[in-house]
Each structure stands twice: as structure tokens, then as C-alpha cells.
């Protein structure tokens, strides 16, 4: 409905060169799992060739793609997405990013979670997402560590600690009031804000969402740009728009409404062969674009050159429009709504009385108010505790010595361990350090995100207590927390760690001598943990690992749990009333579980001197009868199927 106004044109030779404009183009989030590996790699190669960025989408990225190909091409996606499921979000994933994007919602289905059916979870996807082949993967509707703008600011801070050189962006959707939310995001020190329109989306989105949820990106980007301008925040963040962008004209309108970067998704899939069958979730895409079936993937015929050519056409059209408007650069275009006008001839009769003036409103502001990105956000990373840890570790590494560090800690020390883990991963690689290569002993009260993304080989021991988000995204490290040795209260009756501990845990160990808050081990992929009690929603959406609860749980335990096993010490036989049985079964401890329980309890006692662990270990044979095994139904089916297959293989070998 928008047209460009006639103005004084400039020669096209004076317009910003195509190579510079192409760097502003990105691809929307297309997760490896939703589309095939071949399609995903083709898109990444093409975007790296033109200097733009591709987005991993939710689901991690195969580390093999970080290696440059012999011909110089790179399959690495520059934008790594962190979504509510936290699948594959390891410290190695984060340090190999130019941009880390927090996906709050998706334009085609705002407020809804996601689900990758078990039949699409192939072996390589399971490895990339650190889960089990064949097990359904559920992404919660919300991020369980974001319930306020302050929580979002904390996650931004966590990610900037993990990779200080990457910019952090936040994906919002085009909805009424998104400008107010974006203002909070800018104040939370995000570097870029994406406004996603409702016209895009995947073939796997519910039909009702595609038709009725979300709004056009034009409305969202206009509101966001204006709100940020009126609050003098626009110069601190970049704005990006996506949601069915297809042409240079779309890019020009987005720029004039306030966007600096432009995302393409569905159009790129069409370029590499998608025919919009819209049954991506069924795993039977006949052109090999959105399937994990090996035979169907061979039908994929897309090539990076097709995408490169497409974007060359886009930028050619865009530069012609810029020249016709008398504009020489993208920055000159940002927010120039005075160059747009309504085309009333194509407005439907039902919409003829709507006032569209607010979309094209251009605030009258002083000249010193920035109208596009100019000022770098203050990351406040110079004084974090990890700087001291890295300095001590760096000196010991040169001498090839193990590191032992003892420091005090207080609740203003946040995300301790994230920057150290990132530095270890950059210098040494993923999973190279031996266990306890770096041991840090802290005394006091740790701030939020203690041990976030902790890398393998690093052990954090805390004598005291910790706030929320302990061990978020832990990537092979070890965390031990116990009360101050001078206190005389019972650890199993007092809270020692806050809410949402070990959210999105990848692997490692945790021993908590005390009670943790709500949502303990949400979306755990592979952590082995012991804790002496948890609040509501424990082990929610868990897909792997083992968790021992040596005390009471809150309500709704194991909701959405599709993998891993939890062992609950049910002393008073009331646990069943508090467990969500929709996806799990409660069983007695099996012979195969005893070694795991004994090993974890022994470690728990060794590291924390837990009285509760000692009582159980001293009479383990009888105490095991009080444990309840929480077993996901689907996970059990997969494991039993694997056992049968193994027996058949053994039988075939014997026959042979």
C-alpha cells in the first residue's frame, strides 16, 4: 500500500556500492532439523560469499562446519541463535559466533513454542542437539530464565561474557506495543533488535498461526523505530526486519520505515528448490529441502550460486530505487518516511477509513538525536571477576601447571565462569582439558548465572549459596555448592541455589548440598546432578542426563520430559501426587540404575560432605527401595528398541 514519492534523483554511480549493501543482508532462522543439512550448508556458504550472515536457527551447529573448506568457502553460520529450548548451546557454539541472537518469539507463531517430532531427530541432529535419536524435542513457549526485562538483560550479559567480541541481538515480533518492549531491550544493552513479521514462518507452523497470528513487519518496525527515537535510544541499537521480504522494493520500504538490516528466509528456500508443499513436519519433502530422510535429501539440487545471484538482483533493484529517491547510502534512508506515501487505489473498501498516518509519522527531534546506529553499547565487562581468573589461568598455562584459585565472591559477581570458559575454548579447543585442570574455590554468595556455560576441565566449588541460573548451559564443567561450614542448619531443609538452575545444561556434573528453587534442570541435555530438594517444575522438558533428588519436589515435576532419567528419594511416598505423568512413568529402581546412583551419591558426599548422602550410602540396599525412577515413555521405547537391535546384531555375528 506504500509508494515512493517523486524527488530529485542522483546518478546510480553515486549510490553506495553493492558490496557494502550486501553486508546488511541476513537469512532468517532456519534450524538444522527443520531443513536438511545440505540446504543449511548451502545457505551458509552463499551468505559468507557475499559478506552477509546466515542464522543457525534453533538447534545448534555441527562443529565440523567451523572448519574452512579447501576452496576457501565457509559453512559456518555467523549468527548463532539461543532459543527457549537451548538445544546445542555450548560454549564452543557461542565463541564461534559473530552474532548471538536471543529468540524471544517467532513472527509466524508469536507466544508459541516449537516441537521437532521424533521421526525427524536423526543421528546427526541428535549429536548436534545433544540428545537421543528418535526422541521428540520440545521447545517451551517462554525462556525460563526470562520473565522480565531485567532477566533479559541478564541473559544478554551472560552471552556477552561468553563471547565479548560478538554482538548480541534480540528477536521480537511485530505486535502492538513492541516498541515499548524494544525500548527495554535497548536499555538491557542489546546491540541489535529484530522485528519479525507474521507473513513469514515455516511449513511446520500451525495453519491457524500462519493465518491469524502476528502482524506485518511494516507495522512493527515503524512503531519500534519511532519509540526508540522518542526515547533517544535509536542510536544505541541496530534495527532489523524480516517476514516475507522478497524484493529490493521491500528492502527500500523497510529502510525508509527505520530498519538497517534485512532478513530473507522463505524466498531463499524457494531459490534453492522449495516448492512450498507445507508439510515440513512430516519429513517427506520431495525436493530434499526440509527432510532428514537420506534418500529424499539426494534430491536437493540447490547451489550457493543461486542465492548469490538472487541477492545481486535484489541489490541492483535497491540501488536503482535509492538513486531515484536521491539517496546515496542506506544510512541516509533510515526513517525517511517523508519519502513514502499511501497508494489509496489499492486499499480495500473495508480498510478505506483506517488512519495510516501513524505508520509514516516522523518525530520532530533535535539534530543531536541519532536516527540510526552510531553509539556502541556499554558492555560493562571490564571489571568482571573472570578477568582475574583468566589472568591467573593464563600465567599457569604457560608453565603447563594445573590451576588452583581461591577467591571471595558476592552477589554482584554475575556470570562468573562464562568468560573464562570462552577463553579456554578459544585457546585450547572444545573438551580438551582434563578433569579438574582449573579448580576455583569461592567463598560467599554468588550472583546470577554462577558457572554459566562452564567448560569441561573447569571445576567451581562454592562454600555459601548462589542466586538464580546456576550452571546455565553448563558445557562439561563441574559445579559443587554447599553451605558455609560454620552453619548448623540442615542443608536438605534450606534453599541454597535459586531458580532455573542448570537450564539448558549440555553435559558435566553438579552436586548441590541443599535445596534448589523452581525449574531445576529444565531442558537438561546430559548433566549428571545431585540436589537435596527442588521447587515446582523440576526436570521440565528434560531430554537427557541423570538427576537425583534427595528430598521433596514441588508440583508439576517432569512436565514435558522426553528423555533422561530422574531418581527421586520419596521418603514419605507422596511424590506421585506432585509428578506430571503425561509423558513419564514411575518405576522401581532397576539393577542397571544402582551403579549410577551409588557413583553419584559417593561423589556428592565426597565433594559436599552431605549428611543426607551419608545416611543413604550407609544403608544403600534398603534406602534404594525408597527411590522412584522417573522414566519418559518415549525415551524408554527408544532404549528398548536399541537393545533389541543390539541383540539382533550379536545374533547375526554369531551366525556369521
Domains of the chain: 2-351 (3.20.20.70), 387-648 (2.160.20.60)
Whether pLDDT at 656 is above 90: no
**Coil/strand/helix, residue 616:** helix
**Coil/strand/helix, residue 105:** coil
- Give the distance, in angstroms, between the CA of residue 588 and the centroid of all CA atoms in the same chain: 35
Q: What is the mean pLDDT of residues 560-578?
A: 95
**Coil/strand/helix, residue 544:** strand
* Alpha carbons 9 and 325: distance in angstroms, whole number: 5
505 in Cβ contact with 479 (< 8 Å): no
Q: What is the mean pLDDT of residues 186-190?
A: 96
* Alpha carbons 354 and 155: distance in angstroms, whole number: 40
* Alpha carbons 306 and 585: distance in angstroms, whole number: 50
Residue showing cell 545444561: 505
CA dihedral defined by 26, 48, 122, 90, rounded to 10 degrees?
-80
Classify residue 17 as exposed, middle or buried by CB count within 10 Å of its CB (0-12, 13-18, 19+). exposed
Q: Which of 273, 326, 281 is nearest to 300 (CA)?
A: 273
Q: What is the mean pLDDT of residues 29-41?
A: 86
Q: Which of 412, 421, 488 is nearest to 444 (CA)?
A: 412
144 in Cβ contact with 468 (< 8 Å): no
Q: How, if at all, do strands 475-482 and 458-466 pair?
A: parallel
Provide the β-strand partners of residue 628: 568
* Alpha carbons 328 and 601: distance in angstroms, whole number: 68
Q: What is the pLDDT of residues 459-498, one digit of tens each?
A: 999 999 999 999 999 999 999 999 998 888 888 899 999 9
Determine if residue 393 is left, alpha or beta; phi over 0 gives left, psi from -120 to 50 gives alpha, anything else beta.
alpha
Per-residue b or e along 111-138, where b marks 16 or more CB atoms closer than 10 Å to that residue's CB: eebbbbebebbbeebbebbbbbebbbbb
Output the pLDDT for position 399: 63
Q: What percent of the chain has a predicted confidence (pLDDT) above 70?
A: 96
Provide the strand spans (E) within 304-447. Answer: 340-342, 403-409, 438-446
Whether pLDDT at 644 is above 90: no
Output the pLDDT for position 400: 66
Q: What is the mean pLDDT of residues 340-344?
A: 89
Per-residue confidence band for 65, with pLDDT thresholds at 50, 70 and 90: very high
Whether pLDDT at 93 is above 70: yes
Per-residue confidence band for 204, with pLDDT thresholds at 50, 70 and 90: low
Whether pLDDT at 652 is above 60: no
Provide the β-strand partners of residue 529: 510, 547
Provide the strand spans (E) within 575-619. Answer: 584-587
Per-residue confidence band for 207, with pLDDT thresholds at 50, 70 and 90: confident
Least confident of 290-299, 392-401, 453-462: 392-401
Per-residue confidence band for 122, with pLDDT thresholds at 50, 70 and 90: confident
Q: Which residue did the predictor score with more confidence, 134 or 401?
A: 134
Q: Kindly state the helix (H) or strand (E) to which residue 26 belongs, with its residue range.
A: strand 25-27
Phi, psi of 116 (to 5 degrees): -105, 110
Least confident of 285-294, 437-446, 529-538: 285-294
Q: What is the DSSP letter of 53?
A: B
Neighbours of 380 (CB within 10 A): 11
> If DSSP states are collapsed to H, E and C, what string results for 222-278?
HHHHHHHHHCCCHHHCEEEEECCCCCHHHHHHHHHHCCCEEEECHHHHHHCCCCCCC
Amino acid at each position: 500500500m506504500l509508494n515512493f514519492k517523486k524527488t530529485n534523483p542522483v546518478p546510480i554511480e553515486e549510490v553506495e556500492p553493492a558490496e557494502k549493501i550486501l553486508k546488511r543482508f541476513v537469512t532468517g532462522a532456519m534450524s538444522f532439523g527443520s531443513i536438511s543439512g545440505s540446504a543449511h550448508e548451502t545457505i551458509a556458504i552463499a551468505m559468507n560469499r557475499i559478506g552477509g550472515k546466515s542464522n543457525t536457527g534453533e538447534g545448534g551447529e555441527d562443529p565440523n562446519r567451523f572448519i574452512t573448506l579447501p576452496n576457501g568457502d565457509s559453512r559456518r553460520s555467523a549468527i548463532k541463535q539461543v532459543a527457549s529450548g537451548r538445544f546445542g548451546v555450548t560454549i564452543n557454539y557461542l565463541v564461534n559466533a559473530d552474532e548471538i541472537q536471543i529468540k524471544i518469539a517467532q513472527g509466524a507463531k508469536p507466544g508459541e513454542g516449537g516441537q521437532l517430532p521424533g521421526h525427524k531427530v536423526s543421528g546427526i541432529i541428535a549429536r548436534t542437539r545433544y540428545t537421543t535419536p528418535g526422541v521428540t524435542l520440545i521447545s517451551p513457549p517462554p525462556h525460563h530464565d526470562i520473565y522480565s526485562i531485567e532477566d533479559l538483560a541478564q541473559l544478554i550479559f551472560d552471552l556477552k561474557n561468553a563471547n565479548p567480541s560478538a554482538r548480541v541481538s534480540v528477536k521480537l515480533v511485530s505486535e502492538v506495543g513492541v516498541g515499548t518492549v524494544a525500548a527495554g531491550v535497548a536499555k538491557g544493552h542489546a546491540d541489535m533488535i529484530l522485528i519479525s513479521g507474521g507473513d513469514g514462518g515455516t511449513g511446520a507452523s500451525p495453519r491457524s498461526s500462519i493465518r491469524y497470528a502476528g502482524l506485518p513487519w511494516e507495522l512493527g518496525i515503524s512503531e519500534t523505530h519511532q519509540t526508540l527515537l522518542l526515547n533517544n535510544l535509536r542510536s544505541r541499537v541496530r534495527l532489523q526486519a524480516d517476514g516475507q521480504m522478497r524484493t529490493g522494493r521491500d528492502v527500500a520500504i523497510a529502510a525508509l520505515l527505520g530498519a538497517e538490516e534485512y532478513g530473507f528466509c522463505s524466498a531463499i528456500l524457494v531459490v534453492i528448490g522449495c516448492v512450498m508443499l507445507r508439510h515440513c513436519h512430516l519429513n517427506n519433502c520431495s525436493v530434499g529441502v526440509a527432510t532428514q530422510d537420506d534418500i529424499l535429501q539426494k534430491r536437493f539440487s540447490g547451489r550457493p550460486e543461486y542465492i548469490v545471484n538472487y541477492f545481486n538482483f535484489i541489490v541492483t533493484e535497491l540501488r536503482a530505487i535509492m538513486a531515484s529517491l536521491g539517496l546515496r547510502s542506506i544510512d541516509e534512508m533510515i526513517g525517511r518516511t517523508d519519502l513514502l506515501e499511501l497508494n489509496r487505489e489499492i486499499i480495500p473498501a473495508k480498510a478505506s477509513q483506517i488512519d495510516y498516518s501513524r505508520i509514516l509519522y516522523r518525530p520532530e527531534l533535535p539534530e543531536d538525536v541519532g536516527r540510526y546506529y552510531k553509539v556502541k553499547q556499554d558492555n560493562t565487562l571490564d571489571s568482571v571477576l573472570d578477568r582475574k581468573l583468566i589472568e591467573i589461568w593464563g600465567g599457569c598455562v604457560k608453565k603447563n601447571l594445573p590451576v588452583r584459585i581461591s577467591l571471595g565472591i558476592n552477589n554482584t559477581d554475575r556470570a562468573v565462569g562464562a568468560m573464562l570458559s570462552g577463553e579456554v575454548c578459544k585457546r585450547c579447543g572444545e573438551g580438551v582439558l582434563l578433569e579438574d585442570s582449573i579448580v576455583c574455590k569461592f567463598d560467599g554468595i554468588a550472583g546470577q548465572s554462577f558457572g554459566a556455560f562452564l567448560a569441561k576441565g573447569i571445576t567451581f566449588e562454592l562454600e555459601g549459596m548462589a542466586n538464580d541460573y546456576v550452571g546455565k548451559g553448563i558445557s562439561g564443567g563441574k559445579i559443587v555448592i554447599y553451605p558455609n561450614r560454620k552453619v548448623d542448619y540442615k542443608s536438605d531443609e534450606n534453599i541454597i541455589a535459586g531458580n532455573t538452575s542448570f537450564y539448558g545444561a549440555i553435559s558435566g556434573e553438579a552436586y548441590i548440598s541443599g535445596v534448589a528453587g523452581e525449574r531445576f534442570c529444565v531442558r537438561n541435555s546430559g548433566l549428571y546432578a545431585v540436589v537435596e530438594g527442588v521447587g515446582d517444575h523440576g526436570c521440565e522438558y528434560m531430554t537427557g542426563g541423570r538427576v537425583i533428588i534427595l528430598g521433596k519436589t514441588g508440583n508439576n515435576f517432569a512436565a514435558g520430559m522426553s528423555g533422561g532419567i530422574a531418581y527421586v528419594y520419596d521418603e514419605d511416598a507422596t511424590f506421585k501426587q506432585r509428578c506430571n505423568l503425561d509423558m513419564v512413568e514411575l518405576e522401581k529402581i532397576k539393577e542397571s540404575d544402582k551403579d549410577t546412583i551409588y557413583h553419584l551419591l559417593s561423589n556428592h558426599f565426597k565433594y559436599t560432605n552431605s549428611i543426607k548422602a551419608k545416611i543413604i550410602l550407609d544403608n544403600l540396599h534398603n534406602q534404594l527401595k525408597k527411590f522412584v525412577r522417573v522414566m519418559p515413555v518415549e525415551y524408554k521405547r527408544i532404549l528398548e528398541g536399541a537393545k533389541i537391535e543390539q541383540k539382533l546384531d550379536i545374533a547375526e555375528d554369531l551366525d556369521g
